[in-house]
Amino acid sequence: MKDGPTAGSARPVLEMRGITKRFPTGTLANDGIDLDVRRGEIHALLGENGAGKTTLMNILYGLLVPDAGEIRIDGAVATIHDPADAIARGIGMVHQHFMLVPVLTVAENVILGQEITRAAQILDLAEAGRRIRALGARLGFDIDPGARVSGLSVGQQQRVEIAKAVYRDVRILVLDEPTAVLTPQETREIFGVLRALRQDGASIVFISHKLDEVLEIADRITVIRRGRVVGSRRPGETSEQELADLMVGRSVSLRVDRGTSHAGAPALEIVGLRANDDRRHETVRGVDVTVRAGEIVGIAGVAGNGQDELIECLVGLRRPTAGAVRLAGRDVTRASVDRRRDVGFAFVPADRHRYGLVLPYTVRDNLVLTRYAERPYVGGLGTFIRQDAAIDEAARRLIAEFDIRTPSERDPVSTLSGGNQQKVIVAREFRQDLKVMVLDQPTRGLDVGSIEFIHRQVIARRDAGVGVLLVSAELDEVLELSDRVLVMHRGRIVGEFAASEAQRDRIGLLMAKGAAA
């Protein structure tokens, strides 16, 4: 850090000095990190997936023990063995995956661990409710202490997490990628809450890889790359471009140059497709889409308008009730997943933990998951025997080509960061002999470097003659990548725009209302 501790109010509340952490797998997640956070500031911690931001904050919160380094709070050395120590010192953390108990109420979640009780340990939920409401009013949000957390939206759950920290008199609040799961509207609301907290004198550490948000909310920005601090900036003195370059360690292009598409013969034809969801409600209600070879067609839409079921019909995970799907002219409406892949079909799922990866398996096994039974991965007697040498070689080649950050090809894929897990899927799916690709939010939760990389790969495949169908709730991504944009609303395609005439506002309106006003 360039700014050393100074006198008065600028004196750091929190100083972390020389924090180093090496995981048993050998990854050096934090390599002598220095960080200081002042009273009443919002301090952004910016870095790519796997740069070590979360590790650093888990050390601060007592979830991990550092190998070296010290933490000072108000100038005094603090040893933090577990979260209880951290809480006692006024440190609070909102984890990326919320630490809320879904079956409990808001009040129960907030007071858990520091319960308000009357005699004989009996909970005083009425008093808890009063305090939580007052706290919500102070920070400017409505909160219903009696509501069950499982029934709340993601944005509301996040406010419960913040309420948990504030209820414990938080002085240093860490938020780990708080906006990753929020809509733009919810993001604005949470920023309001954070500003109110800063007004109250709390210090906030805001972990993110979204450049625009960091520039909007932060007072200071510390950039971390591969476990080291590579720079510290104030929002007024820097730009998205500079931060992106710092984060990635090279010059990054934030806008993809899509070039022009040369659409050929139909690669994917969806004709009059209808399908039901698991509760037997018809959610795909007559969809006709043609994707030609060498073009990217984007489907924009608010989540839950039938996109999931549509994609499952294309992949072969769900049987449509009517209509047909053709891949390169062949009817595959009732074909198995495997059969579709043989024709030249690839799929990048949105939920990489449920689909796409076998988390406990090694990176190399995940990389050959769709072709493990083909030569050269099997061979020998009657081609039954797994050929480890060939698998290793292929895995090492893909790891290098797609810049997958993993200690080795034999580590479980579950130990990789989210961005690197996504790269494993992309490396496997983006084969040479493809005809059609379906991408379901392919860059969800990824940082600029990874997004740039994946976008380039998508465009390269398009230029090689692959038909690409991109489904995403993130309008930015759809607009940036697609040659044509379709809008899906309540199971139907309600609008089509050529890339040139794509108007953000009209599309946004169609997504929300289903008809242009």
Partner 1 sequence: MDLLAIPRLVFEFAVYLLTVLPDLLPIILALATPLALGALCGVLNERSGVVNIGIEGMMLMSAFFGYLTGFALHQTVGSAVAIWLGIAVAVGVGALLGLLHAWLSVSVRADQIIAGTMMNIAALGVTGYLNRLIITPSGRGGAGVIPPFRIPPELADLPVVGPILAMFLDQGPIAMSVIVFVLVLQFGLFRTRWGLRTRAVGEHPKAADTLGIDVFRQRYLNVILGGALAGLAGAFLTLESTGSFQNGMTGGRGFIALAAMIFGRWTPVGSFLGALLFGTATAFGVVVSVRPAEGDLGVILRSIPTFWYAALPYLLTVVILAGVVGRSVPPAADGVPYAKEGKA
User: Is there binding between residue 198 and partner 1 (CB under 8 A)?
Assistant: no
Q: Beta strands 345-348 and 436-440: pairing type?
A: parallel
Strand segments (E) across 263-392? 266-276, 282-292, 296-300, 322-327, 330-331, 345-348, 378-379, 385-386
**Is there binding between residue 78 and partner 1 (CB under 8 A)?**
no
**Is 68 a binder of partner 1 (CB under 8 A)?**
no
Binding flag, residue 181, partner 1 (CB under 8 A):
no
Residue 223 in contact with residue 46, Cβ under 8 Å? yes
DSSP letter, residue 362: B
> Is residue 101 near partner 1 by the rule CB under 8 A?
yes
Looking only at residues 8 through 27 of this chain, which bind partner 1 when binding is defined by CB under 8 A?
23-24
Complex with partner 1: residue 61 or 453, whichever CB lies closer: 61
Q: Report if residue 173 touches partner 1, rule: CB under 8 A.
A: no
Identify whether the C-beta of residue 291 lies closer than 8 Å to the C-beta of residue 468: yes
- Residue 104 or 135 with smaller CB distance to partner 1: 104
Q: Which is nearer to partner 1, 101 or 137 (CB)?
A: 101
Residue 220 CB-density burial (10 A; 0-12 exposed, 13-18 middle, 19+ buried): middle
Q: How many CA atoms lie within 13 A of 194 on its CB side?
A: 28
Instruction: Return the residue of 99, 358, 373, 512 that touches partner 1, per CB under 8 A.
Output: 99
In this chain, which stretch among 113-121, 136-144, 183-191, 297-305 interacts with partner 1, using CB under 8 A?
113-121
Residue type, 67: D
Which sign does the torsion angle of CA 180, 186, 191, 196 carry? negative
Tell the smallest beta-carbon distance from residue 55 to partner 1 (Å).
Answer: 9
Q: Write the CB contacts of 403 (distance below 8 Å, at least 6 apart in sequence).
A: 423, 453
Q: Point out which span in 6-14, 118-126, 247-255, 321-329 binds partner 1 (CB under 8 A).
A: 118-126
* Tokens matching residue 334: 């009732």
- C-alpha 91/C-alpha 166 separation (Å) is 10
CB of 301 to partner 1, least distance (A): 31
Residue 167 binds partner 1 (CB under 8 A): no
Judged by CB under 8 A, the residue of 5, 113, 264, 376 near partner 1 is 113
Please pick, from the candidates 67, 82, 401, 403, the single residue that binds partner 1 as defined by CB under 8 A. 82
- Alpha helices by DSSP H, listed for 153-206, are 154-167, 184-199
Which string of x and - marks every residue 25-64 that binds partner 1 (by CB under 8 A)? ---------------------------------x--x-xx
Q: Does residue 415 bind partner 1 (CB under 8 A)?
A: no
Residues forming the site for partner 1 (CB under 8 A) = 23-24, 58, 61, 63-65, 82-84, 87, 93, 95, 99-104, 108, 111-115, 117, 120-123, 164
